Amino acid sequence: MSTWSYTLLRAGRFRLDGGSMFGVVPRAIWSRLVAPDDDNCIPLQTNCLLLELGGSRVLVETGNGNKWSAKERAIYGIEDRTVETALGEVGVSPAQIDLVIVTHLHFDHAGGLTRLGPNGELDLTFPNAEIIVQQQEWDDALARRSTMNGTYLASHLDPIADRVRPVNGEAMITDGLRVMPTPGHTWGHQAVLFEDADGTICFPGDLMPTRNHVGRSWSMGYDMLPYDTLLTKETVLARAADERWRLILDHEPGEPVVVVDRDESKAWFRLDPTRVPLH
Ligand SMILES: [Zn+2]
């Protein structure tokens, strides 16, 4: 079995409306877990992973990127920091990334695939990398199939077109690193799985963006298929509990690495960030 090492990269904080982030859950309930700011927004992070095995380097997710106006930065609270900043802090340059896997192509996941250069030109952030995404997600992104305006952006998608390697369904990408369809947030959303020295890790993307999203009904108003999110989440949480996976949550602003336990009293699951092996 191929054993990867992973480094958690915090690619920058941002914020989104708390009501949108918790869908059908009333503010009176969710605001007990996370305090909204004066604009009713909650703090989020863009967690990405650097995976290394032998000489190969894979990046999972890319965050918001740097192509934002001052007004957009203010609205979304986008920190002046990108995945490039985080890679630089661990001594890796964007040119050293061989492969990028994104769970889906909304702006806070695909934004970092391209960058604004010093003279305002639009460049590929990772000049030597192929980009892995589900064929369904790529097709939906190009057709702008979303209830949200402005989440599949041409400036994020057009420059990467000839770098995208679309996959269909469950797929082995390289050396035990694999993707698995996790529909709900979008039709073509995928999770990323791999083994490190301590077992299996699953990056479920926007299936469960923060620890507060573990509950059965705690899914986002942004989901295309909310009931599918519930079913997919139950399947992933059950496997994670039974097979002792660790999950790494993409927008968790606190500790994003968790293990999953069955909670018999609620016939559901709970997350524990404290029993994760240190590495
Ligand atoms: Zn997201």
Tell me, yes or no, whether 278 lies in a domain.
Answer: no
Tell me, yes or no, whether 279 lies in a domain.
Answer: no
How far is ligand 1, taken at its centre, from the CA of residue 54, in Å? Answer: 30
How far is ligand 1, taken at its centre, from the CA of residue 265, in Å? Answer: 30
- Amino acid (one-letter) located at 150: G
CA distances, 245 to each of 76, 196, 248 (Å): 32, 11, 10
User: Hey, what long-range contacts does 228-235 have (CB within 8 A, 24 or more apart)?
Assistant: 228/183, 228/184, 229/184, 229/185, 230/184, 231/184, 232/182, 232/183, 232/184, 232/207, 233/184, 233/207, 233/208
Q: Which residues span the domain enclosing 182?
A: 5-272
- Structural domain count, the chain: 1
How far is ligand 1, taken at its centre, from the CA of residue 198, in Å? Answer: 27
Tell me, yes or no, whether 277 lies in a domain.
Answer: no
CATH of the domain at 121: 3.60.15.10
How far is ligand 1, taken at its centre, from the CA of residue 106, in Å? Answer: 7
Distance CA 261, CA 268 (A): 9
Tell me, yes or no, whether 52 lies in a domain.
Answer: yes
**pLDDT string in tens for the chain (279-residue length):** 799 999 999 999 999 999 999 999 999 999 999 999 999 999 999 999 999 999 999 999 999 999 999 999 999 999 999 999 999 999 999 999 999 999 999 999 999 999 998 898 999 999 999 999 999 999 999 999 998 888 899 989 999 999 999 999 999 999 999 999 999 999 999 999 999 999 999 999 999 999 999 999 999 999 999 999 999 999 999 999 999 999 999 999 999 999 999 999 999 999 999 887 765
How far is ligand 1, taken at its centre, from the CA of residue 1, in Å? Answer: 31
| Alpha carbon 201 to its chain's center | 14
Q: Which residues lie near ion ligand 1 (Cβ < 5 Å)? A: 108, 206
- What confidence tens digit (pLDDT) does each residue in 74-126 have? 999 999 999 999 999 999 999 999 999 999 999 999 999 999 988 989 999 99
| Alpha carbon 39 to its chain's center | 24
Tell me, yes or no, whether 133 lies in a domain.
Answer: yes
